Amino acid sequence: MLFRIEHTTRFIYSDRVHIEPMTLRLRPRSDCWQKLHTFSLNIDPAPKGLTESADLEGNSVASIWSTGLLNRLSIEAVSEVETTRENPFDFILTDSQALSLPINYDAGYGNALDPYLTREYSSDDVHEFADTLLKEFGTNTISFLTSLNQYIHENFHRVLREQGPPLHPSELLKTREGACRDFAVLFMDVCRVLGLATRFTSGYFFNEDDGFDEHELHAWAEVYLPGGGWRGYDPTHGLAVADRHVALTSACKPALTAPTCGMYRGTGISSSLEYNIQITRIDTLETHNADPMED
């Protein structure tokens, strides 16, 4: 599928402030199942400097900085992205130790997967929840992941929470109500209890039947499966991730995937955030004029 994504973020301040260097994670990733055709980043007022790099997780990030005082900042990212993963189950597990849960990854990985196995939210109730589901769904790895994904989708109520970090999984287990990022974190924590390496992914989801996702950032989990690599599971929709998902960034911790990250300096000054996201499925690529900030 081919998508055009327009993502605008506006910061508004009650008075002029000094904005510290800001990190932007708005460039969709490009890999074997997702190809970024065009990307433009328009910032108003224009920053004094902008540099792009790859972070520890391999995500594309931009750093911007300004001089002088501002009372507003607008960031518009426009992308055209092609997704090609039609079948999310087109792999086999190549490590016999990964066939059933709990698993132990082959020693050849060394410590590379440690950040994705460390539980950020340690709690006994999630451990008990994982054990209960394991008894109900069985120990087959792929079957369990599919069942866990569907269970959260069917038994938890989705609400919109525009701000704030993910809920602690223990709280979500009590309320059974949360946003997509909360469901992703619970999915990850259950997986880590059972020895599965997982990471948090931020991006977009195109749903032709429900406009809910077309105006919001979306979040899901990715599980590392030998022979399949990182495979996405979206417990909000009960789907294995395929060609309707567009990934921006992935990381071992949700905080490392924030689309914008920075601080401002000013005494007694308040701020507000506005955003607008539009996702359009298109049939052909458009031709773009050359631009110094566009690929």
Return the bridge partners of 9, or none.
75, 275
pLDDT on residue 213: 56
Average pLDDT of the segment spanning 270-282: 92
Q: Are 13 and 264 in contact (CB under 8 A)?
A: yes
Q: What angle do CA 139, 145, 169 make, to 5 degrees?
A: 105
Output the pLDDT for position 107.
87
Q: Given pLDDT bands bounded at 50, 70 and 90, which one contains residue 271?
A: very high
Q: Is the fold of 2-83+258-282 the same as that of 96-242?
A: no
> Could you confirm whether domain 2-83+258-282 is CATH 2.60.40.2250?
yes
Quote the tokens at residue 292.
């110094």
267 SS3 class = coil
Domains of the chain, residue spans: 2-83+258-282, 96-242
Which pLDDT does position 214 carry in this prediction?
59
- Percent of all residues in the chain with a pLDDT value above 90, rounded to a whole number: 84
Residue carrying the six token digits 């510290």 = 20
Q: How confident is the model over 122-180, as pLDDT tens digits?
A: 788 999 999 999 999 999 999 999 999 999 999 999 998 878 899 999 999 999 999 99
Average pLDDT, integer, range 7-35: 95
Assign domain 96-242 one CATH number from 3.30.910.20, 3.40.630.10, 3.40.50.1220, 3.10.620.30: 3.10.620.30
pLDDT > 70: percent of the chain: 94
Give residue 216's pLDDT.
Answer: 85
pLDDT (tens digit per residue) in 197-245:
999 999 999 987 654 555 789 999 999 999 999 999 999 999 999 999 9
State the average pLDDT over residues 55-65.
94
pLDDT at 212 (0 to 100)? 54
Contact at 8 Å (CB) between 7 and 39? no
Give the per-residue pLDDT at 28.
Answer: 97
d(CA 17, CA 234): 39
- How far, in whole angstroms, is CA 42 from its chain's centroid? 22
What number is the average pLDDT over the span 24-44?
Answer: 96
pLDDT at 215: 74
Confidence check: pLDDT of 288 > 50: no
Number of Cβ within 10 Å of residue 275's Cβ equals 16
- Rounded Cα distance, 194 and 175, in Å: 23
**Residue 72 gets which letter from DSSP?**
E
The pTM for the full model equals 0.92
Contact of 223 with 197, CB cutoff 8 Å: yes
- The Cα–Cα gap between 158 and 205 comes to 15
Annotate 11-28 with b (16+ C-beta within 10 A) or e (fewer). bebeeebebeebbbbbbb
